[in-house]
Amino acid sequence: MGEMKLLLMKKGAEASLYLTHWHGREVVIKKRLPKKYRPPQLDERIRIYRTIHEPQLMNEAKKAGVPTPTIFLVDVNEASIIMEFIEGIQVKKLLSETTKNKREDICKKIGELIGNLHERGIIHGDLTTSNMILNNEGKIYFVDFGLGEKTMELEARGVDLHLMKRALQSTHFRFTEECFNAVIEGYSTVLGAKNTKDVLEKVREIERRGRYIAERREEIT
């Protein structure tokens, strides 16, 4: 990578994204830099694990019909991934600025895409609207599969949707409910009413397990 001109696009918590040219293409290099705060052994384990798993899951997602950037090169030793640059706008930025109808359409589509992932046993692991990009052709790309896993377990699906809901609550608190309902609507068109009901029950169980919801009955003083 010696001669390449790297432009730091985003310095996230986990990785830095650089925009550059590579064999005549515009690409993104995602590099997981060592974290000084954790012991080197643990740090390496986490970075290598995520660098290997992320491209695998992105590839799987593509097969499931969910747009993801194409992977060009994985360098495990450097903990870096070279992938396609998706030109578009983060759904996070878009959601609060658009109309109610558009918002519902986008969220429904997001729900379908999550459904596609789950149907194939892919858990994204970090479903937030900043990890979704709407490109110029109107396709929604999912990125950042670093915390994902492959499993058909209901629990994992529940947590995935719970995280989506939580992300809506913290970032799009004005429209949390309408957005989440639309996501579920889209989800159920892929996975059907029965599966959707089961996973929603799981979401409620997860909420009750933590300290997420107020008791439904009023407390007796």
Partner 1 sequence: MRKKLADTVYCLGIESTADDFSVGVATLDGKILANVISAYIPEEGGIHPREAARHHAEKASQVLEEALKKAKIKAEDLSVTAFSQGPGLGPCLRTGATVARAIAHYLKIPLIGVNHCVAHIEIGKLKTGAKDPVTLYVSGGNTIVAAFDSGRYRVFGETLDIALGNCLDVFAREAGLRQKAGMPFGAVVEKLAAEGKRLVPLPYTVKGMDTSFSGLLTTAVNLLKSKAYRLEDLCYSLQETAFSMVTEITERAIAHTEKREVLLTGGVAANKRLQSMIKAIAEEHDAKLCVVPSEFAVDNGAMIAWTGILAYKHNVFTPIDKSFVKLRWRLEEVEVPWVK
CA–CA dist 6, 104 (Å, integer): 37
Q: Least separation, in Å, of the C-beta of 25 and partner 1?
A: 27
If one asks whether residue 23 binds partner 1 (CB under 8 A), the answer comes out as no
Among 2, 39, 77, 137, binds partner 1 (CB under 8 A): 39
For 154, the token pair is 């209901």
If one asks whether residue 203 binds partner 1 (CB under 8 A), the answer comes out as no
Of the candidates 128, 124, 107, 106, the one whose C-alpha atom is nearest the C-alpha of residue 180 is: 107
Closer by beta carbon to partner 1, 26 or else 205: 205
Of 29-37, 59-67, 114-122, 196-204, the window that binds partner 1 (rule: CB under 8 A) is: 29-37
Chain position carrying tokens 């729900």: 111
Kind and range of the H or E element at 26?
strand 25-31
Of 11-19, 65-73, 93-101, 135-143, the window that binds partner 1 (rule: CB under 8 A) is: 11-19
Per the CB < 8 A criterion, the answer to whether 207 and 162 are in contact is yes
**What string marks each residue from 112 to 131 as x (binds partner 1 by CB under 8 A) or -?**
-------------xxxx-x-
Catalytic residues: 126
Closer by beta carbon to partner 1, 128 or else 196: 128
If one asks whether residue 193 binds partner 1 (CB under 8 A), the answer comes out as no
At residue 180, the 3 state secondary structure works out as helix
Of the candidates 94, 81, 174, 184, the one whose C-alpha atom is nearest the C-alpha of residue 140 is: 94
If one asks whether residue 8 binds partner 1 (CB under 8 A), the answer comes out as no
If one asks whether residue 217 binds partner 1 (CB under 8 A), the answer comes out as no
Closer by beta carbon to partner 1, 84 or else 149: 149
If one asks whether residue 213 binds partner 1 (CB under 8 A), the answer comes out as yes
CA–CA dist 110, 179 (Å, integer): 10
Helix-strand-coil split of the chain, %, nearest 5: 45, 20, 35
DSSP string, 79-140: TEEEEEPPPEEEHHHHHTTS-HHHHHHHHHHHHHHHHHHHHTTEE-S---GGGEEEETTSPE
Closer by beta carbon to partner 1, 95 or else 163: 163
Q: Which residues are near partner 1 by CB under 8 A?
A: 11-14, 35-39, 41-42, 45-46, 125-128, 130, 147, 159, 163, 166-167, 169-170, 173, 206, 209-215, 218-221
